[in-house]
Amino acid sequence: MNIQHSLTIALTKGRILDETLPLLAAVGIEPTEDLESSRKLIISTTVSSIQLVVLRGSDVPTYVRHGAADLGVAGKDMLLEFGGDGIYEPLDLGIARCRLMTAAPKGRSLSCNSRRIRVATKFLNVARAHYARKGVNADLIKLYGSMELAPLMGLADEIVDIVDTGKTLAENGMEAREEIAEISSRLIVNKAAMRTRHSSVMALIDALSTVLKERGMLAGE
């Protein structure tokens, strides 16, 4: 892989990092220290022209859109909520798969027939678009975590949240209702970097696609 330009890749701790590092390692990019235990936010790699920055998931699209990072790995949920102009999304990495869903307490009759419902979520834009498509009047309540608690405590009628195993919903007497989107992590690229550092960005995209293809993980194949 021929990376002539310096490139900064934005990652986020947790499942995305755990599943991205093996892909980067397969193309010869390894952090020079343990990202999970280190408190450093800028980490060099075994490829001298490539550095990693570790951010909150919701900040990855922002860093890449503004060109503070050239590339990033972000969940489709974050891209639907915070993505947009200034970002290319050339590769579905097929990792950190889950679903973005509405959910409500088990058996509680659905709200979609009611004229107005209260919805707790951290995905305000996604939720607004979803309920508008359905013609449901939704009062959105922004939360930053533990969304499942909101209907149980009478704060909301339903939630819009990520469902992976479904365990959190089940253990809190809730059930998934409607699927809004299937989620996986995407490689994203700053549009200006795609022009000014084209050969290096493309070398990285091509190397990662080859690894995904070899592992049978390339979307649409």
Would you tell me which residues interact with ligand PRP (CB under 6 A)?
145-148, 161-168
Strand arrangement of the beta sheet that strand 42-44 belongs to: 42-44, 50-55, 7-12, 71-75, 185-190, 87-92
Q: Which is nearer to ligand PRP, 78 or 208 (CB)?
A: 78
Please give the Cα distance from 16 to 98 (Å, whole number).
Answer: 12
- Tell which residue, 185, 151, 219, 182, has the closest CA to residue 21: 185
How many CB atoms lie under 10 A from the CB of residue 145?
8
Structure tokens at 154: 């009478």
Q: Which is nearer to ligand PRP, 163 or 211 (CB)?
A: 163
Q: Please give the residue whose beta carbon sits closest to ligand PRP in the complex.
A: 145
Q: Which is nearer to ligand PRP, 25 or 149 (CB)?
A: 149
The minimum distance between CB 164 and ligand PRP, in angstroms, equals 3
Q: Which is nearer to ligand PRP, 7 or 79 (CB)?
A: 79
Please give the Cα distance from 23 to 215 (Å, whole number).
Answer: 10
The minimum distance between CB 168 and ligand PRP, in angstroms, equals 3
